[in-house]
Chains A and B, each alone.
Chain A
């Protein structure tokens, strides 16, 4: 396994001040052509990991290898990694053409070759007519496409992207997400992508490493990350999530009994401590059924609707349940379906497989 990986982080640690570790023991193997995202809140160490891979930050401990060659002591300009920055980093004193030609000139390609590749690259991102403009004359989305083209033009095998879409508005961002994904698959490049936006990570990545506090909480493909979060942090960071605090009463193979207030809940034992310690139950809002009949689901509980929030395609009900009044349930807005009213008391139910007992 290890021999096949293209990029590998092995026991990597990083400290800026010699006292605190920003990155604590980071391990990651990336295969050729893979799109891997490092996802996490700001200050979680994800950008630091990217910068260490790019060579702009030194590695305090451990080893980073590209193509099985340790790169710890190789200068950034010798690593041959394409990079896209959040603020685009287009050189403001050069035209778009000159910006794109820069990495090729550095490589001393023949003039005709440079011209051809610049034109091809501009066509690739549909910006052919902007060749002679200055970066300041382009919109944010156009700048980002130029930055992308510039990072790809010298055909690097590895491209790093540091929150490249952070400065764009929502619609443009979604459009660019598809464009980046399409380009990366089309050109067969390996991408390491850093973002704090979970939807961005879910839609683009082959695998996602969720960072928190300098540690990778979970490394998995998008659907596993959403469906099977391993820690309470991942469950709450990826998608919406209801959390119920409880005490473990009994463990039954894959499942466990948890006391939440005065109720007993049957949950999937994912990441729990021994009996009688506390746990956090994680239930996705769309997996809770309103008006469930007793016996229909593993768990059945009375609740009171506190509020109905209208979201167009779906409704959200905020429930008071087992002493917790922030319990959200998602309902599809179907025609002819009478919306429940706030203030009514109802029964809710959910399956034990959708209720994951995680670390406290």
Chain B
């Protein structure tokens, strides 16, 4: 009773000093300090991510559309080619520009490297450049005779196709790397066509990678679901111990785990020698340096990523749901199919998408146990980064991989709904 007297006068004074309009601004002011504080807390992380993650990745993505060889090494040629129509052979002036710049490159001793760079797109560019440079250097070319001289040295200069190929490489930014990554190229008429059969690599590897990732995801689901179910239903004491056993490999170095698989799977390894001594096989089975080894090792390595989200979702499924279903007369099978499984789906799909995305980009394990046939797309990206030094192509393949994953993610969101995903 007394309370109502003491509270209401105070409420009145508050509303007197704070008219409605000011309420919003004073709320903003009060909140701003909190927002600034929380922003300051993440500033170091933001700076770190920007400098060491976003910028390098942005630079790599940019590299995928960059095509700097012709535009930097032969700038005048590149500019002139941009203006060339492509319907007839270029005029004498363009011939002269090309001839002079090839000679200049020869003198600067850069012709070799430029030739190799061009070779990546235009298979015979290096030999053409070298031959032309040699021919031009040995003759004194009369101004106005570059056309006939160069055509004389190599008749490829007299074909529109050669010039078309050069023109496509002229712009500083182009999709050439993406075309190469998708086994496509420009033909002599400047149209996009498929690479000849012998040079098609990446599309089939990309499809293989996605199939392998899908297979690994399916394997992880089949192996992980019963395990997660058992962990979620066992008493806490036992399930904690088993959980540690699930996590133990998770805490071990990736390299160590992969090496352990190598010890087990190689032709005179643990598995083969055991089977041999038991008399089950005469010749060692080829378990490694092929796709089998890659799938086995990756499934083992990625399994915890499947089990953890499934476990946490199953843990949160109340037993009363299954009890309620039983009390209504549903059999155990029906209860599982209609009640438990739909409720565990968020965990299954979260684990699935996690494992799938990790598997598409996996590198170390296929590199170590994959051999020749067990290679996936990431091994080719690494090859172009480290060995062929064709960073543009590597960046283009990586970007395509990223886009595929994003598209699949989008499809997943449309079909299942991202809100249905639970990571823990």
Contact = CB atoms under 8 A, between A and B. Distances in A.
Interface of A: 54-56, 75-83, 85, 87, 89, 91-93, 102-103, 106-107, 150-151, 154, 160
Interface of B: 318, 320-321, 323-332, 334-335, 338-339, 342-343
A103 B329 contact: yes
A103 to B, nearest CB: 4
A83 B324 contact: yes
Nearest to A85: B320
A75 B331 CA distance: 9
A20 B318 CA distance: 26
Contacts of A106: 328-331, 334
A78 B343 CA distance: 24
B327 A82 contact: yes
A89 B323 contact: yes
B349 to A, nearest CB: 14
B318 A76 contact: no
Q: Quick one: which of A77, A87, A92, A160 has the most chain B CB within 10 A?
A: A77
Interface centre among B326, B327, B329, B330 (most CB of A within 10 A): B327
B331 A89 contact: no
Nearest to B334: A106
B323 A93 contact: no
Most A CB contacts (10 A, CB to CB) among B324, B325, B328, B334 go to B328
A200 to B, nearest CB: 20
A89 B318 contact: yes
B292 to A, nearest CB: 39
A77 B318 contact: no
Contacts, number: 63
A83 B338 CA distance: 19
Contacts of A78: 329
Contacts of B327: 54, 76-77, 79, 81-83, 151, 160
Nearest to B343: A93
A87 B320 CA distance: 8
Contact of A91 (B321, B332, B334): B321
B416 to A, nearest CB: 13
Contacts of B335: 77
A154 B324 CA distance: 13
CB-based closest 10 A-B pairs: A103-B328, A83-B327, A89-B324, A89-B320, A76-B326, A77-B326, A85-B320, A106-B329, A106-B330, A93-B342
Contacts of A79: 327
A295 B338 CA distance: 73
Nearest to A160: B327
Contact of A87 (B318, B328, B330): B318
Contacts of B329: 77-78, 80, 103, 106-107, 154
A165 to B, nearest CB: 16
Contact of B321 (A77, A89, A154): A89
Nearest to A310: B1
A189 B326 CA distance: 20
Given A77-B326, A79-B327, A102-B325, 18 more contacts: A54-B323, A56-B323, A75-B326, A77-B327, A77-B335, A82-B328, A87-B318, A89-B321, A91-B343, A93-B342, A93-B343, A102-B330, A103-B330, A106-B328, A106-B331, A106-B334, A154-B328, A160-B327
A77 B320 contact: no
Nearest to A83: B327
Contacts of B330: 77, 102-103, 106
Given A106-B329, A106-B330, A76 B339 contact: no
Contacts of A54: 323, 327
Contacts of A91: 321, 324-325, 339, 343
Contacts of B323: 54, 56, 76, 83, 85, 89
Nearest to A81: B327
B335 to A, nearest CB: 8
